[in-house]
Structure 1
Amino acid sequence: MTYSEKIILSGDYVIYRDEYGLWKLLSNGVTFSLVDLSDFRRVISLLEMPIESVKLALGLDFPYMSVVEVGLRHDSDYWIKLAISWVAHSSVQEANFLVETLKELSTDKAVSQSNRHLAIKELKRLLNS
């Protein structure tokens, strides 16, 4: 198997692009396609790495904002905070489609106050650009 672009999440997880240009996750000998938003739950741990490092490893064509969206929609404040961090380190063009999700987060009382404030901060950045 040849990996044109890959990142190793741990010893058991590899994200790569196959010969057809499709993103895949190889985990313990099982391959999963990364196509639908729900597929990106499998790679949410990417959020624990700086987005710049992930972009260096996977290139600019990886659907980073799908990982961010999964994190923003997660019920854990931990993943929400990491996803907002990726938004903060993304261009307005990359993250602009997340405005509605950030609006929802900014008013959701189930989300921590600090994450609501971070969502508001990113909303202002995206809307005022």
Structure 2
Amino acid sequence: MMFKMDIRNKEVMAGYGLPVNHTVWGGESKMSDEGQRYKTSHIIDSEDMLLNWKPLMQINTGSMLGLSENGHWIIEEQTGVRVLDETWKFNRLMVLLERQITEFRQELINAAITCTIDNDIVREFPFYEVVKVGFEQKSEYWVELALNWWIMLPQENEEIIKSLEKIEISKWASQKLRHRIKKELRTRRAFLSFTSGSGCNGVEKR
């Protein structure tokens, strides 16, 4: 999914509400106390584009997950920031799969509270995109971790189902992994079949 990014060049920064008393060093703004809520960083692979964003949590050494001023997820690297607006960019978040999804979600909520960000934004975190890149690795390690996340996600995603169906018949996956995927798919389909034919209280629709 593509997003309209809140990017800007140095000539038009004042028109986007940046404090007048900022100085840019290496793509990062140093502001007065009143303006410390956002960082301003260079967007990687752009000539002179800058982005306002809030750091939320460290992903690993040298990278930070954040949220832009306009609500787009970004990751900070040594040379600047990347807006996570294409599926392939979520490879940089795959390491999150090594955490329990419940723990990660709580960390995200705590970070949002600290940064005065609406918790509704946390619910919009692209969990499925992270799961999808895990399934695409052709690695039992990452697929198992991605499965642990997927079974905890409430909504359905057809792309994820297709990815799992491919792994289920793949030659590189072990029999143990294929059996687990088959079981999880069967459980999910049974649940979806039940909920689609029942009301909120499990009463069959008529």
TM over 0.5: yes
Q: Write out aligned runs for 1:1-129 (5 A).
A: 1=39, 3=54, 6-58=56-108, 59-91=122-154, 93-95=155-157, 97-129=159-191
Quick one: distance in 1 between partners of 2:92 and 2:61? 15
**1:79-121: CA deviations, max 9, x gaps?**
1111111112222x14565222111111112112222122112
Unpaired segments ≥5 residues, structure 1: none
Between Structure 1 and Structure 2, the one with more helix by share is 1
Give how far 1:48 is off: 0.5
Aligned pair count?
127
Alpha-carbon distance change, 16 to 97 in structure 1, aligned in 2, over 3 angstroms: same
Instruction: Report the AA paired with residue 76 of structure 2.
Output: L
DSSP-derived class of the 1:118 partner: helix
Higher relative contact order (CA 8 A, sep 6+): 1
Superposition CA RMSD, Å: 1.7
Q: Structure 2 vs 1, CA of residues 127 and 112 (structure 1 numbering), >3 Å: closer, same or farther?
A: same
One-letter code of the match for 2:77?
A: S
The whole-number CA distance in structure 2 between the counterparts of 1:13 and 1:120 is 35
Q: TM-score, normalised by structure 2?
A: 0.57
**Counterpart for residue 28 of structure 2:** none
The percent of aligned pairs where both chains have the same amino acid is 27
Using the alignment, how far apart are the partners of 1:118 and 1:83 within structure 2?
A: 12
Q: Secondary structure at the match of 2:173?
A: coil
Larger radius of gyration: 2
Separation (CA, whole Å) in 1 of partners of 2:86 and 2:79: 21
Secondary structure of the 1:128 match is helix
Following the alignment from structure 2 to structure 1, what is the Cα–Cα distance between the partners of residues 103 and 157? 18
Alpha-carbon distance, 1:52 to partner: 1.0
Give the Cα–Cα distance (whole angstroms) in 1 for the partners of residues 56 and 178 of structure 2: 33
TM value normalised by structure 1: 0.88
Structure 2 unmatched ranges of 5 or more: 1-38, 40-52, 109-121, 192-206
Q: CA deviation at 1:15?
A: 0.7
Greater Cα shift, 45-54 or 7-16: 7-16
